[in-house]
Structure 1
Amino acid sequence: MGAVASQDKQATLKGSEPSVAPLMRLVEPGMARVNALILEMAGSHAKMIPDIARHLIDSGGKRLRPMLTLACAEACGYSGENHVKLAAAVEFMHTATLLHDDVVDESELRRGKPSARMLWGNQASVLVGDYLLGQAFQTMVQVGSLDALAVLSKAASVIAEGEVLQLVAAKNLATGEEQYLKVINAKTAALFSAATEVGPIIAQSTADMRRAMAEYGTQLGLAFQLVDDALDYGGSSMTLGKKVGDDFREGKVTLPIVLAARAGTTEDRTFWSRTIEHGEINDGDLERAIDILRKQGAIAATVERARSYGDKAIAALAALPAGAHRDALEEVVLYCISRVS
């Protein structure tokens, strides 16, 4: 299935923009239980823990990953309660990584609001992130599925490895496309993949279904991250959930920069070396960076790659029976791409 196929599919979605609303409606009963469990899991005698957890929980995120866990389990015929516990664990894993990421990246905003580190400090953010990760694993153990525990624990390890890989690649213009894709496969796609694979695991689906849902999550995660990369140079703070240009200011070598550094003129490479490698950013440099990326087609190329991964995600859903859940999971992919369209 090519990029044209996904665009044609998008055009047939009832004449409207793709949305996560169908998915939200399908999993609404389960998400109500997930939200209640999250509040319970965030409880602690140390008041700072629930305060920081609630700050992130209430910050407006769509909670896409736990919704995917619920939907993939239900699409495979599951009707118990363990998918709720796994979905809450997935969200806590994600929340923990956000707390740690903001410290590493020195981020001031998270989803358009002051990041936890700006309100409580770096030490508190790291320690509360560790606590939430521990709570996530306790909840996984309660489910009693060694397969689900193996998938999610491996994802936690891979995500941490991805953070280290990103740290190595930061400010390094020699980073190639293959190396960068390894970073986002670990840092972003791994949790999407785990979130979607544990659904068929607890539904006791076939190995083929597990592989298909893991593939869906991986490809969706890659598409999601590449769209974020493009939005950092062509979106809005409201859409992105952080300041536009944060990647540029932090010296992150994302795919648009990888493509531009490879194809640019000597003057362009000097500019990237000064701003990305040496962190010498002057007034107007972000605007110049965006202009270079657009002229070289680096933003458009990044979006095109995201569409390609989105097509692969949709293709993986062919393993599911036709119905509302498969349709909603397809529309999530299209929504992800549409954020930058």
Structure 2
Amino acid sequence: MEENQKPKAAPLDALVALVKDDLDAVNRTIVERMDSPVALIPQLAGHIVAAGGKRLRPLLTLASARMCGYDGVAEGQMRHVNLATCVEFIHTATLLHDDVVDESALRRGKQSANAVWGNQASVLVGDFLFSRAFELMVEDGSLKVLAILSRASSVIAEGEVAQLITTNDTDTDEAAYLGVVQGKTAELFAAACQVGGVVAEQDETREKALRDYGMALGIAFQLVDDFLDYSAKQEALGKTVGDDFREGKLTLPVILAFQRGSEEEKTFWRRCLEDMDQTDADLAHAMDLMRAHGSLDETLTRARDYGAQARAALEVFPDSPVRQCLLDIVDFTVERAY
């Protein structure tokens, strides 16, 4: 399996190569804007920023702008770079807050910031990064950009609260789950793509197409993540198998297995996820039930369906190397499951 993983990263590598100068500028801007006379801020923020993320969301902003013909560097402008940085700061802030809420000890295989510096510092530095993101939005000067990214920030927060409400609640249905996914994950993908079209001064049709692409890609991304939580491949990703189960989260593999289960099985799920009364053998049994009811396979099928929607959204754009990379990233996102 590990031997087969390297080629699957090629679409992301190809996109990085196409926007390398822009991405280098984003990385420099991240370092500059994280700086603060309060030493703990750049220290803690730098810890999570350097923890091995793929910079997928800012890459989407840079790629969307490039696909639409925007060349800010040639024009002496850095709008796309600053907004890509803004997107990364919003994402990083949510990760800091998420790890506190989830009491996570690991982030991408390394100690989480809250495990090293504590919850209070992580929450406050997350707030700092949100504030920096809003400074970048204001500096851009576009009310439309400000509206898109500020709304994304509030929708992400709503999604996180919605997830908190659905945790430990086996009555959670697919619609509620999808609402959480759209809020906490897909909204930032959509906004990241949309602002790339805004800086390139695209018409409403193309701007909406970029947003639709990002939304569908983000949903597919989260569906695969939720599948992977019950996959042995998690260990290769620096995560432990079954974190969602241990935290009582109702993700699609569990929701489908619960709905299709017998009364005896539903009693099992309620004990494990509502009462949080779990034994060492319960995770393996839960995974057996998910396989028996086909809920893991169906989660991947849904991911592929959203991937197809993302690909279709880009049909309004002419063929180009960047467009092809964005199409390939859809496949890469879904294929992470294999």
SS in 2 for 1:236: helix
The corresponding residue for 1:30 is 22
The corresponding residue for 2:336 is 339
SS in 2 for 1:237: helix
1:237 CA displacement: 3.2
1:158 CA displacement: 0.3
- Structure 1 ranges of 4+ moved more than 4 A: 15-18, 238-241
Instruction: Tell me the matched-pair count.
Output: 327
Which of 99, 102, 110 in structure 1 is aligned with 2:96?
Answer: 99
Pairs within 5 Å for 1:1-341? 19-80=11-72, 81-341=78-338
The superposition leaves residues 209-248 of structure 1 with CA deviations (integer Å, 9 ceiling, x where unpaired) of: 1100000000000000000000000143355453221100
Cα pair 1:112 1:243 within 8 Å, conserved: no
1:249 CA displacement: 0.5
Cα pair 2:8 2:335 within 8 Å, conserved: no
Cα pair 1:197 1:210 within 8 Å, conserved: yes
SS in 2 for 1:29: helix
Instruction: Read off the aligned partner of 1:94 and give its amino acid letter.
Output: H
SS in 1 for 2:11: coil
TM-score of the superposed pair, with normalisation by structure 1: 0.94
Instruction: Read off the aligned partner of 1:313 and give its amino acid letter.
Output: A
Change (3 A) 1:261 1:240: farther
1:267 CA displacement: 2.0
Name stretches of at least 5 consecutive residues in structure 1 with no aligned partner. 1-14
Instruction: Read off the aligned partner of 1:41 and give its amino acid letter.
Output: R
Q: Give the Cα–Cα distance (whole angstroms) in 1 for the partners of residues 237 and 246 of structure 2.
A: 15
TM-score of the superposed pair, with normalisation by structure 2: 0.94
Q: Give the Cα–Cα distance (whole angstroms) in 1 for the partners of residues 274 and 201 of structure 2.
A: 49
Q: Give the Cα–Cα distance (whole angstroms) in 2 for the partners of residues 302 and 227 of structure 1.
A: 7
The corresponding residue for 1:9 is none
Name stretches of at least 5 consecutive residues in structure 2 with no aligned partner. 1-6, 73-77
Instruction: Read off the aligned partner of 1:329 and give its amino acid letter.
Output: L
Q: Give the Cα–Cα distance (whole angstroms) in 1 for the partners of residues 61 and 258 of structure 2.
A: 38
Instruction: Read off the aligned partner of 1:122 and give its amino acid letter.
Output: N
Cα pair 2:228 2:234 within 8 Å, conserved: no
Cα pair 2:65 2:197 within 8 Å, conserved: yes
The answer to which structure, 1 or 2, has the higher relative contact order (CA under 8 A, 6+ apart) is: 1
Same amino acid, percent of matched pairs: 51
Instruction: Read off the aligned partner of 1:24 and give its amino acid letter.
Output: V
